[in-house]
């Protein structure tokens, strides 16, 4: 696991060159702040000795204006350093979020199955801010406070080296104590991030599953889960607060002992050796002015450890394999007819448990081919492999003789339209969801696609027509309406290859009949592969492949497979048993 220093080094390497001029300006401003702070302490010696001890009236005006100049310069330098650093920080957050999102667009589907949406939301917000916090702490705290302490220590040494040695003897004690606190706060911070992710997850579940929560009266259960998550964050926050709060008493105690020792020694020197009071007051002022930056600096290690957890989680995401980040120059997929061929394809999600095991079959160009069989046989996995959402462990998938593993991913997916049983809609308007099929489509093209999908009539009946919002996950439209919007999206894309994954399984019979007619229009003359559990939807398919345990065990038309009396015949009899027993016309079942 990378240390805080390793993470900081990587951040500086990735961002240092771009922001070098701005950081240089910040450093100059901080050096000026440190110099003015040190000078304000040193000049106190002359204020006391020249004005109050020697009663020099001539120096009064000059010293007064000099003090004003010191603090004006310090104020302007502090202002510019804070503004420039804040601007850099805001830009860093934006760039980090863009980089994280860009990387998420290049990972495969398996990544999103390993990481929950609530975790990714937390990382996008929390981790991006951690990058800014870490770099700003180094620049602001280490820069401003460290330079200030160095300047004040130089001033103290210039005034009295022996007093300086007495005052600084407590430094090593403070450093060792802070190191122990850092280890404790690292563990607490990691746990807090995961607890925050839990709050986001429960909120998302309640929002998206409100109907289920209310129907099954799960309010109390969700309340208990949420309160437990909130209380976990509260406990961790209190723990981090206690650890962080321990720094101040430690620094106050060490600082108080140092001041007491300095007062004792300086008083002894003044009483027995006649040292000037100006030197003592200047020294004690410099020592007291060290307290605030030293206190902030002592907390920097704790703060860096906290931010490092977020940065480390950000890099965990960024370093995950970008499997879809293809090198440029890959050949485009050229569709001539649209024939799909699988040759001895195997795939497994977990070792030693193949979902697809040496599968081979073809999908004729311009025809409708159906995949049937029991659940878990590998039908949906075939669709994932065809779109390269997953990569086969072995074997070859070809479209018109071109291995899809060798062509550009963009061109492959451009030539495939998918309509699934769960029509996913983005939050936004209906026309925005239809236009997702073709980015540069005009409103007229979107409307034509909606008409082809028989969606125009219901859309126009809505209060805002095509601009009507669909809500989160399409909650403001019915299941049949969502499916028609998805069909319109597929019509608009007009890809030569169509994948249909049980697109009517969740619909009532009347809606299913209407959408089946629209599907026939969509697939006319195109290479179509259909997953079907309800055999009534694929009786007229040109070719049917029966899949079992990751293999094709039968192929043929409906009539051929019935005549063979094999697995398809058994599935058919199982689904239409009551019609066959009563010798009713099959048309009533279809």
Question: Which residues, in sequence order, are CB contacts of 533 under 8 Å at separation 6+?
Answer: 372, 375, 502, 505
d(CA 41, CA 49) in angstroms, rounded, equals 14
pLDDT digits (tens, 9 = 90+) for 357-369: 999 999 999 999 9
Which tokens sit at 227? 């309160």
- The confidence score (pLDDT) of residue 589 equals 46
d(CA 294, CA 285) in angstroms, rounded, equals 14
- The confidence score (pLDDT) of residue 26 equals 85
Mean pLDDT of 580-588: 48
List the single range of 72-76, 166-170, 474-478, 482-486 with lowest mean pLDDT.
166-170
pLDDT digits (tens, 9 = 90+) for 424-465: 888 889 999 999 888 888 999 999 989 888 889 889 999 999
Q: Does residue 506 carry a pLDDT above 60?
A: no
Q: Do residues 129 and 303 lie in contact, with contact meaning Cβ atoms separated by under 8 Å?
A: no
Which residue would you say has higher pLDDT here, 169 or 543?
543
Percent of the chain topping pLDDT 70? 82
Which domains occur in the chain, in start order? Answer: 4-318 (1.20.1560.10), 335-415+498-590 (3.40.50.300), 421-494 (3.40.50.300)
- The confidence score (pLDDT) of residue 67 equals 80
- The confidence score (pLDDT) of residue 281 equals 73
Confidence of residue 502 (pLDDT cuts 50, 70, 90): confident
| Cα-based distances in Å from 267 to 169, 205, 257, 262 | 19, 69, 15, 8
pLDDT digits (tens, 9 = 90+) for 304-336: 777 877 788 888 888 888 888 888 888 999 999
- The confidence score (pLDDT) of residue 352 equals 79
Which residue would you say has higher pLDDT here, 522 or 476?
476
Phi-psi region of 583 (alpha: psi -120 to 50; beta: other; left: phi over 0): left
- The confidence score (pLDDT) of residue 365 equals 93
Q: Does residue 171 carry a pLDDT above 70?
A: no
Q: Does residue 403 carry a pLDDT above 90?
A: yes
Q: Does residue 48 carry a pLDDT above 70?
A: yes
- The confidence score (pLDDT) of residue 179 equals 59
Mean pLDDT of 472-482: 82
Q: Does residue 477 carry a pLDDT above 70?
A: yes
Q: Does residue 218 carry a pLDDT above 80?
A: no
Which residue would you say has higher pLDDT here, 142 or 553?
553
Q: Do residues 178 and 243 lie in contact, with contact meaning Cβ atoms separated by under 8 Å?
A: no
CA–centroid distance for 372 within its chain = 38
CA–centroid distance for 264 within its chain = 57
- The confidence score (pLDDT) of residue 552 equals 92
Which residue would you say has higher pLDDT here, 486 or 518?
486
Give the chain's length. 590
Question: Which residues, in sequence order, are CB contacts of 566 under 8 Å at separation 6+?
Answer: 546, 553, 554
Average pLDDT, the chain: 80
Highest mean pLDDT of the ranges 68-77, 262-271, 295-304: 68-77
Which residue would you say has higher pLDDT here, 331 or 139?
331
Buried b (16+ CB within 10 A) or exposed e, 37-66: bbbbbbbbbbbbbbbeeeeeeeeeeeeeee
Phi-psi region of 493 (alpha: psi -120 to 50; beta: other; left: phi over 0): alpha
d(CA 506, CA 530) in angstroms, rounded, equals 16
- The confidence score (pLDDT) of residue 182 equals 57
Q: Does residue 473 carry a pLDDT above 60?
A: yes
Which residue would you say has higher pLDDT here, 406 or 574?
406
Element holding 353 (H helix, E strand) = strand 353-363
- The confidence score (pLDDT) of residue 196 equals 66
CA–centroid distance for 38 within its chain = 44
Phi-psi region of 565 (alpha: psi -120 to 50; beta: other; left: phi over 0): left
CA–centroid distance for 226 within its chain = 22
Mean pLDDT of 523-542: 85
User: Dihedral (C-alpha) 145, 148, 149, 152: value to the nearest 10 degrees?
Assistant: -160
Which tokens sit at 507? 């619909």
pLDDT digits (tens, 9 = 90+) for 248-294: 566 656 666 766 766 676 666 666 666 667 777 777 777 777 777 87
Q: Does residue 588 carry a pLDDT above 50?
A: no
Q: Do residues 261 and 165 lie in contact, with contact meaning Cβ atoms separated by under 8 Å?
A: no
Going by C-alpha positions, the residue among 13, 104, 6, 128 that lies closest to residue 319 is 104
d(CA 420, CA 519) in angstroms, rounded, equals 12
| Beta strands per DSSP E along 364-480 | 368-372, 394-399, 402-403, 416-420
- The confidence score (pLDDT) of residue 444 equals 92
Q: Does residue 168 carry a pLDDT above 70?
A: no
Residue with tokens 């951040």: 11
Backbone angles phi, psi at 445, to 5 degrees: -65, -40
Mean pLDDT of 383-405: 92
Q: Does residue 514 carry a pLDDT above 60?
A: yes
Confidence of residue 585 (pLDDT cuts 50, 70, 90): very low
């Amino acid at each position: 696991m990378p240390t805080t220093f390793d993470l900081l080094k990587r951040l500086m390497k990735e961002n240092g060159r771009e922001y070098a001029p701005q950081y240089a300006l910040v450093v100059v401003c901080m050096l000026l702040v440190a110099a003015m702070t040190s000078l304000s302490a040193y000049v106190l010696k002359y204020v006391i000795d020249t004005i109050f001890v020697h009663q020099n009236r001539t120096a009064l005006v000059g010293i007064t204006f000099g003090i004003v100049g010191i603090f004006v310069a310090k104020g302007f330098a502090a202002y510019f350093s804070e503004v420039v650093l804040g601007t850099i920080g805001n830009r860093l957050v934006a760039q980090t979020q863009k980089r994280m999102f860009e990387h998420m667009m290049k990972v495969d589907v398996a990544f999103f199955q390993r990481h929950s949406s609530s975790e990714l939301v937390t990382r996008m917000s929390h981790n991006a801010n951690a990058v800014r916090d870490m770099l700003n702490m180094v620049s602001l705290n280490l820069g401003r406070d460290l330079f200030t302490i160095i300047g004040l220590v130089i001033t103290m040494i210039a005034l009295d080296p022996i007093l300086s040695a007495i005052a600084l003897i407590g430094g090593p004690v403070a450093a060792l104590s802070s190191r122990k606190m850092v280890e404790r706060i690292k563990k607490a911070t990691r746990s807090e991030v995961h607890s925050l992710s839990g709050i986001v997850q429960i909120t998302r579940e309640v929002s998206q599953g409100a109907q289920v929560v209310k129907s099954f009266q799960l309010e109390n259960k969700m309340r208990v889960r949420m309160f437990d998550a909130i209380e976990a964050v509260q406990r961790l926050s209190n723990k981090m607060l206690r650890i962080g709060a321990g720094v101040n008493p430690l620094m106050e105690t060490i600082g108080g002992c140092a001041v007491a020792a300095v007062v004792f020694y300086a008083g002894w020197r003044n009483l027995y050796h006649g040292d000037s009071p100006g030197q003592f007051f200047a020294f004690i002022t410099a020592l007291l002015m060290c307290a605030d930056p030293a206190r902030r600096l002592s907390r920097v290690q704790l703060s860096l450890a906290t931010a490092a957890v977020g940065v480390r989680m950000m890099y965990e995401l960024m370093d995950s394999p970008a499997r879809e980040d293809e090198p440029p120059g890959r050949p485009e997929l050229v569709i001539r007819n649209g024939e799909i061929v699988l040759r001895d394809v195997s795939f497994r999600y977990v070792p030693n448990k193949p979902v697809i095991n040496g599968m081979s079959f073809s999908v004729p160009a311009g025809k409708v081919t159906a995949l049937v069989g029991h659940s878990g046989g590998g039908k949906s996995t075939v669709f994932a492999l065809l779109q390269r959402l997953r990569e086969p462990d072995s074997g070859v998938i070809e479209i018109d003789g071109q291995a899809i593993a060798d062509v550009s991913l963009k061109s492959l997916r451009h030539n495939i339209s998918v309509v699934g049983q769960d029509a996913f809609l983005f939050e936004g308007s209906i026309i925005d969801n239809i236009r997702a099929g073709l980015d540069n489509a005009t409103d007229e093209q979107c409307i034509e696609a909606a008409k082809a999908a028989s969606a125009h009539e219901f859309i126009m009946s809505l209060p805002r027509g095509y601009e009507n919002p669909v809500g989160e996950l399409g909650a403001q439209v019915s299941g049949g309406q969502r499916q028609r919007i998805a069909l319109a999206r597929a019509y608009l894309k007009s890809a030569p290859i169509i994948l249909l994954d049980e697109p009517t399984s969740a619909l009532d019979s009347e809606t299913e009949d209407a959408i089946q007619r629209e599907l026939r229009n969509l697939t006319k003359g195109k290479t179509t592969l259909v997953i079907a559990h309800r055999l009534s939807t694929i009786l007229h398919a040109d070719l049917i492949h029966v899949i079992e345990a990751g293999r094709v065990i039968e192929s043929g038309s409906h009539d051929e497979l019935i005549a063979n009396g094999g697995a398809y015949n058994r599935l058919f009899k199982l689904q239409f048993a009551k019609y066959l027993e009563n010798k009713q016309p099959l048309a009533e079942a279809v």
